[in-house]
Amino acid sequence: MKSIKTFVAVSALSLMSFGSFAQSITATASTLDAAEAHIAAQAKDAGASYKITEAFTGNQVHMTAELTR
């Protein structure tokens, strides 16, 4: 009986993880606005919303975001 409950619990948790969607994307540009525009375009193409998780400036801007549906 305990093994059946464990199997059901594991099955339910694995279905939840497959149901969610998160993808990391990056963009490089010369300004923050341009990098965010690249991120926004990628999110629109994927039909998802985005959250910027990292931005690094040096000679260029490198930005990372997470897409969620």
Write out pLDDT tens, residues 15-35.
Answer: 554 445 679 999 999 999 999
How many whole angstroms separate alpha carbon 48 and alpha carbon 46?
5
* All residues at 6 or more sequence positions from 67 whose CB lies less than 8 Å from its CB, including other chains: 21, 22, 23, 24, 25, 42, 43, 46, 48, 49, 50
Given a cut of 90, whether residue 6 has pLDDT beyond it is no
How many whole angstroms separate alpha carbon 44 and alpha carbon 36?
12
Q: What is the pTM of this model?
A: 0.68
Retrieve residue 49's tokens.
């919303």
* All residues at 6 or more sequence positions from 37 whose CB lies less than 8 Å from its CB, including other chains: 29
